[in-house]
């Protein structure tokens, strides 16, 4: 076994690898960019080496810098994690030349599986079922359009060198194909330096089920069972679980055997994941799945496989890289159910825009059956240069129902400010009846948009829960004080009746709270009326029931703001300023950047007339494209940016003419 390991990655996966390697007695070496000088993975490693500027292309994606760091520190092995260079054949080849162990598959296996079109040809030859599609070399627009017409809509355009949903577009009609193709190519070029695509049939009601496999240099291949990753947004996984809901023993045997054959076809070594698209229109069938791709690396969701099998997959990776063997298949058994949620730095109330900045307040869940793999702690800074994932939260329990309940409670307790997260969104996903029933496919989020993005974003809702929290958090001042000094709304022979006022974007929101006995309250704000029940103190917050859902709420005071944490959501309301303007006309006279990023395209010129909702600018940030639209019908006065410009959070991009 080698004794020193360089981790060619950052964030939570770097921290996770470091912890296992240190437990095994290895000296761990981190690499970092200028933006990550004080990052958690740097602090946790035994050594750390600066390899470049903040941009990933100038640091984490530089093979020469990674190899120089390994030479400098005498690293015997390199673990690439996932993302960045994890599936890069050149890094694996460089390790071979330098006699450094690459913790991953061989260069040959990576080459064969690295391009989706070549991988599908190999799978077809090996007898693994493959989705119908076009995987040819002719990349002309007319060829791809013609092939899409032959396949039949809907189709899926996918980057040949892609992963993580980047460079992927669903197309429902011929008219939309060329625009989607251009967008997919642009994103693929930016993410993978390769704009080639393939086109394949889009399976209606698809489920995404993958199989964790391991191989060793003796030719032994074993699987660690399946994971269901169907709950996705923008083709990126949100919730992952194992076993897959509705998976029978017969179908499990078939899909796991196909994954093993896929790995055997390329003499696979170390950890890999074989991904299948599965017909979810009815019960799972042994003839209802098709090979999608093979990821030649560790996956983000590997902890759910660890939970149900009891194996540390990173430790197994390291042992196999050092010449060890894969366990016999009959030594790998399933136990219980595990679900993982990906906690992202993004703002669900603002179209899931990435959220960056200092994690001034950051609380992650703890508890029995809960595991947290985090890349950040309170006081760390979230950079716009990298993937927005903050942590993974995993629940493991004897049954799926118990695992869902444990993970839902855990996500409800996440607190982050002023960086926004998707914790509230995840809490609602886990509470959705269709998810609890296991009725999921890759369109789950779109199908439940009204539930998952509903009332909790309304100003009156936010003000009402802030008022309840403010009232119930009011400290007990009765001891030693006159009752005339108390502000608890007490009235002789009448129920408590109080009013709290807050300001949200200049709008004053008044909430009336009426105590109805037995820890019950009625809250009214404008036309909204809420009845909350069984309000009681728990820890440093309150717990109550609202519309049959249990809520955890805590209030934090920051200067003039009241920050409310409620079931994973977070928002700030001000105490109203009577001198503030009710309406800010400038808000509709300018388009501002919602985050730091790079301008990809600008579709208007000065003097153009635009309509509300019309896309004006496409911005790239945190590896994703974001469309910025006109806030109202208007005439463009000036365009302040051009494609290729780097912009900061809040920068003016386009200004409109205003009435004189």
State CA 516 to chain mean position distance. Answer: 41
pLDDT band at 659 (very low <50, low <70, confident <90, very high): low
* Choices 1.10.3720.10, 2.40.50.100, 3.40.50.300, 3.40.50.10310: CATH for 585-656: 2.40.50.100
What pTM was computed for the model?
Answer: 0.81
Identify the three-state secondary structure at position 42.
helix
Backbone φ/ψ region at 246: left (φ over 0), alpha (ψ -120 to 50), beta: left
**DSSP E strand boundaries for 118-220:** 133-134, 155-159, 168-171, 197-201, 206-215
Q: What is the pLDDT of residues 240-259, one digit of tens each?
A: 999 999 999 999 999 999 99
The upper half-sphere exposure of residue 191, i.e. CA atoms within 13 Å in the direction of its Cβ, equals 27
Give the whole-angstrom CA distance, residue 29 versus residue 16: 13
Instruction: Spell out the CATH class of 336-453.
Output: alpha beta
Give the chain's mean pLDDT. 90
Q: What is the model's pLDDT at position 473?
A: 63
What pLDDT does 162 receive?
A: 73
Fold of 132-201: Dna Ligase; domain 1 (3.30.1490)
Helix (H) or strand (E) holding 111: helix 107-114
Phi, psi of 160 (to 5 degrees): -60, -40
Q: Is residue 223 scored above 60 in pLDDT? A: yes
Q: Give SS3 for 270.
A: strand
Going by C-alpha positions, the residue among 57, 49, 70 that lies closest to residue 5 is: 70
> What is the sign of the dihedral through the CA atoms of 613, 615, 620 and 626?
positive
Which pLDDT belongs to residue 350?
A: 83
pLDDT in tens, 470-524: 888 655 444 444 444 444 444 544 455 688 899 888 788 999 999 887 789 999 9
Per-residue confidence (pLDDT) for residue 660, from 0 to 100:
52
pLDDT score, position 20 = 98
For range 354-378, the mean pLDDT? 95
Q: What is the mean pLDDT of residues 386-409?
A: 97
Are residues 44 and 62 in contact, defined by beta-carbon separation less than 8 angstroms?
no
Can you give the pLDDT at residue 250? 97
Quickly count: other Cβ atoms within 10 Å of residue 153's Cβ.
15
What gap in Å lies between CA 342 and CA 407, rounded to an integer? 11
CA-to-CA separations, 625 to 141, 452, 517, in angstroms, rounded:
22, 22, 51
Quote the percentage of the chain above a pLDDT of 70.
93
Q: What percent of the chain lies above the pLDDT cut of 90?
A: 73
What distance in Å separates the CA atoms of residue 370 and residue 307, rounded to the nearest whole number?
10
Tell me the torsion sign for CA atoms 111, 114, 116, 122: positive
pLDDT tens for residues 402-435? 999 999 999 999 999 999 999 999 999 999 999 9
Beta bridge partners of 4: 27
Q: Which of 22-36, 145-159, 635-649 is the most confident on average?
A: 22-36
Q: Which fold has domain 4-103?
A: Rossmann fold (3.40.50)
Rounded to an integer, what distance in angstroms lies between the CA atom of residue 20 and that of residue 349?
A: 37
Single out the residue of 444, 417, 421 nearest to residue 558, CA to CA. Answer: 417
Q: Which residues pair with 389 in a beta bridge?
A: 344
> What is the pLDDT, as a whole number, of residue 456?
73
Instruction: Assign 155 a pLDDT band (cuts: 50, 70, 90).
Output: very high
pLDDT digits (tens, 9 = 90+) for 562-589: 999 999 999 999 976 544 333 334 446 8
pLDDT at 485: 42
What is the reported pLDDT for 588? 61
Tell me the β-bridge partners of 598.
620, 646
DSSP bridge partners of 240: 340
Residue with tokens 């993004």: 346
Q: What is the mean pLDDT of residues 132-144?
A: 92
For 125-131+206-335, CATH number?
Answer: 3.30.470.20
What is the set of active-site residues?
A: 297
């Amino acid at each position: 076994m080698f004794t020193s390991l360089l981790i060619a990655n950052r964030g939570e996966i770097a921290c996770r690898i470091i912890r296992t390697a240190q437990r095994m007695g290895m000296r761990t070496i981190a690499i970092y960019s200028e933006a990550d000088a004080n990052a958690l993975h740097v602090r946790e490693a035994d050594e750390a080496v600066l390899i470049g500027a903040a941009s990933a292309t100038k640091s984490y994606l530089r093979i020469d810098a990674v190899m120089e760091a390994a030479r400098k520190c005498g690293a015997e092995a390199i673990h690439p994690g996932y993302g960045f260079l994890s599936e890069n054949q050149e890094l694996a080849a460089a390790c071979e030349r330098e006699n450094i162990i690459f913790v991953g598959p061989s260069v040959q296996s990576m080459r064969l599986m690295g391009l989706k079109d070549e991988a599908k040809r190999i799978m077809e030859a090996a007898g693994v079922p493959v989705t119908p599609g076009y995987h040819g070399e002719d990349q002309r627009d007319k060829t791809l359009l013609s092939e899409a017409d032959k396949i039949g809509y809907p189709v899926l355009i996918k980057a040949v060198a892609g992963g993580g949903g980047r460079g992927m577009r669903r197309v429902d009609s011929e008219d939309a194909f060329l625009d989607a193709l251009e967008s997919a190519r642009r994103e693929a070029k930016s993410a993978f330096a390769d704009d080639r695509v393939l086109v394949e049939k889009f399976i209606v009601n698809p489920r995404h089920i993958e199989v964790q496999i391991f191989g060793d240099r003796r030719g032994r291949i074993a699987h660690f069972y399946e994971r269901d990753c169907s709950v996705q947004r923008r083709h990126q996984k949100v919730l992952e679980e194992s076993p897959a809901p509705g998976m029978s023993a017969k179908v499990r045997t078939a899909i796991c055997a196909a994954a093993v054959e896929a790995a055997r076809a390329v003499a696979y070594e170390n950890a890999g994941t074989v991904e299948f698209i599965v017909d979810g229109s009815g019960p799972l069938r042994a003839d209802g799945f098709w090979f999608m791709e093979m990821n030649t690396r560790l996956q983000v969701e590997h902890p759910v496989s660890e939970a149900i099998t009891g194996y540390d997959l990173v430790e197994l990776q390291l042992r196999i890289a050092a010449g060890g063997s894969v366990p016999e298949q009959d030594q790998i058994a399933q136990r219980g159910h595990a679900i993982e949620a990906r906690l992202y730095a993004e703002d669900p109330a603002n179209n899931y825009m990435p959220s960056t900045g200092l994690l001034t307040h950051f609380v992650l869940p703890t508890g029995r059956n809960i595991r947290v793999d985090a890349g950040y702690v309170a006081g760390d800074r979230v950079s716009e240069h990298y993937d927005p994932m903050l942590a993974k939260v995993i629940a493991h329990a004897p049954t799926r129902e118990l695992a869902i309940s444990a993970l839902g409670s855990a996500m409800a307790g996440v607190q982050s400010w002023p960086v926004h997260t998707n914790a509230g969104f995840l809490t609602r996903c886990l509470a959705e009846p269709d998810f609890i029933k296991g009725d999921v496919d890759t369109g789950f989020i779109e199908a439940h948009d009204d539930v998952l993005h509903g009332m909790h974003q309304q100003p009156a809702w936010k003000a009402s829960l802030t008022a309840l929290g403010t009232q119930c958090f009011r400290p007990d001042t009765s001891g030693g004080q006159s009752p005339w000094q108390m502000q608890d709304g007490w009235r002789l022979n009448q129920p408590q009746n109080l009013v709290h006022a807050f300001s949200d974007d200049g709008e004053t929101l008044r909430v009336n709270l009426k105590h109805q006995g037995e820890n019950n309250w009625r809250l009214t704000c404008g036309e909204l009326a809420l009845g909350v029940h069984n309000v009681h103190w728990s820890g440093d917050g309150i717990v109550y029931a609202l519309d049959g859902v249990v809520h955890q709420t805590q209030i934090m005071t920051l200067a003039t703001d009241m920050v409310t944490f409620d079931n994973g959501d977070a928002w700030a309301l001000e105490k109203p300023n009577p001198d503030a303007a009710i309406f800010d006309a400038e808000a509709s006279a300018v388009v501002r950047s919602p985050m730091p990023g790079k301008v990809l395209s600008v579709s208007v010129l000065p003097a153009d007339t635009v309509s509300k909702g019309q896309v004006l600018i496409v911005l790239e940030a945190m590896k994703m494209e974001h469309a910025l639209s006109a806030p109202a019908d208007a005439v463009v006065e000036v365009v302040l940016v051009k494609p290729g410009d780097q912009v900061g959070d809040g920068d003016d991009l386009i200004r409109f003419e205003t009435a004189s």
